[in-house]
Structure 1
Amino acid sequence: MFLIYCHPHCIFISSREILTRIENIILGIVTSLSKDEAPVLALPNRSSWANVSFDSAIGLQMSSGSSVSTIRSDCPSSVTKFGEKILTPHLVYFLILFTYCVRRDIYYNNTQLFGSQTTVDSIVDDISCMLKVPRRSLHVLATSKGLIAGDLRYMEEDGTRIDCHSSSAAVAVSSNISGIRNIVSSAKFVMIVEKDATFQRLLDDDFCTKLCPCIIITGKGVPDVNSRLMVRKLWDTLHIPIFALVDADPHGIEIMCIYKYGSVAMSFEAHSLTVPSVMWLGLLPSDLQRLRVPEDALIPLTKRDESKLSSLLKRPYLTSQPDWQKEMELMQQTRVKAEIQSLAAIAPDFLTSIYLPNKLRYGGWV
């Protein structure tokens, strides 16, 4: 039996080296078959916290000695998965040689085999982890769902010039962040906004110019990889503060943690995805009491919320954020949550006219 084991750490390498690694995987399979042995793929397990270590300067990163999950070619329950994992590198090989594609193109290459787009997305990430390269190095791009606006201009890889402040409408986050160049901005900070509705409200109120030049970006909930890459690109290029504006609930806190510390599933790409400097601007659980947000605007925590909050408090990175821990413990005690929109119960324009300006002027973040 030929066991193909691939180290989990992901680094930037040349296209030729990526092609060589794919060739070695195929060679291993052919070698096994020539010996009448069943090929077996061994992939780092991307869903286990046991495979992740925490570094305050990086976030969650895959451990070098992480456990693996095996996919056998001679087992009826895994033969389809084996076929999926082998077909995808085959397609990627030709993409690297000739072109780029979006993940949806891979799905439509063999819809019967893959079954769903979600399956393809997971396979591409597995292959990226297996080959120890960023997904974009495989020439497989993802359609972005994020939006960005504010004092920002840059050039796409194909030469298209983007001005994020040229109109009242937001710009879609690029699907090829690594190709962006010539970034120009006078922004004093970047603000990550959890929800599209809040993002649109900030646009409507012309927030990016009223207080001071800034950039706002939303991943519309749980962020896609491109939104995270864009925040990291801005941090690396502009060296300005990064704030997060999320709901005062466990879901919003987890979204903020993904931007700051990363996720278990993408821990093999932590170096290019996490932004450890992200600061929690709001909505803070302590803000609800301090501002006396009306009780009818508060929402009781559900059992699922309480479970998520308990899980978050056990995350390895919370020990390095005592202020965050205090805020979350306050939420646990009060057993209430609130959306950013709850501030409208105080005054319709409270968010943009009072709350955010005061927070940013007087340092009301943790």
Structure 2
Amino acid sequence: MTTVLEEATTFYGRQRRLTARAIGRIVALWGTRPPVDFDLWFAEHADALVEILTAAQESAVGQGFEYVGAALAAGGGAITPDADPVGDNLVGVAGDGRPLDTLMYGAVIHAKAAIAKAPDGADRNVVRRAWSENGVAALITRAQTAIADAGRVATGLGTAARPHTGYTRLLVGSSCSRCAVLAGRTYGSMTAFQRHPRCDCRHVPRHRSDLARSAVDVRSFFESLSTAEQDAKFTRAGAQAIRDGADPAQVVNARRGVAGLESAAGRVTSAERAAIASGRLRNSAVAGGRELATTSEAMTKRGRAFKTIARGDDVRRETEIKKGKRKRLMPEAIYEVAESRDEALRLLKLNGYLL
């Protein structure tokens, strides 16, 4: 019988190979020769880029749902979910709620910005480098993040849908210092997974009774790196402090927020909670003075989420969906505002992520 760690290692190996194949196709489509008109090229190829990325997200989501059941079974026994996650509603959208074509157009913006920053009289290869280097780098970051987020949300939903579960944060690949000090932390299933662009860290679903036994020694991770890698990930001064015996978490937390992992403080007011609970979101949702991630993806009459969300008896809500006025919360935003598992499950169902 496989162990939880073996299940996690196998799953994330599959996810990395899936991501590599998708990025290879996207980069090949982008090419190395810059088009005469960047915007015209993107208009002609956006559908193909989104198709590749959507297919990869669908596979990542399917693998994520399977992985949760296998990991929990390996860790002490299968747990029947209270609700079934809706895979289709996790696809076609970025982690921050943007449609995938809008996300990918950011690579064009980066390429244009590189050209604009070039000094007057720069060599004629500026345009080529802007397209094949700056543009490609932004393209890869966006594609990798979108696929990883889809897989992460799937594993998060699969865990949240089951009672008496939580997760441990697992380091995968080359991790930054903020991720390193979070590794091995145990969380309840309703706690959102903090991540940054190109973050490779993942969930390890666990039985609640087993979570306390799950740990990763951050210092062991630090000592597994070369001196140069330690300096790069923890800063030269920070790494030296750790080598001198300082607590890695304290060193990294002194620079809290640099990696963009921390959310702003603030409580959700009664009025804000009522708006979120009603499901009638417009342009954005604001809680405690900060904007929560919402998306209009799949919220048209023929959208993936429409049939799920409009299934209820609230005629006014259904009318708003048909008129394209509503937005739905991203799962991460739901975990942030929900004060109980029951409330989180209700909001996940209301926003079309669970049946």
**How does the TM-score come out when normalised to structure 1?**
0.26
Rg (Cα) greater in structure: 1
Larger RCO (alpha carbons 8 Å, 6+ apart): 2
Structure 1 or 2: larger strand share? 1
TM-score for both structures, normalised by structure 2: 0.27
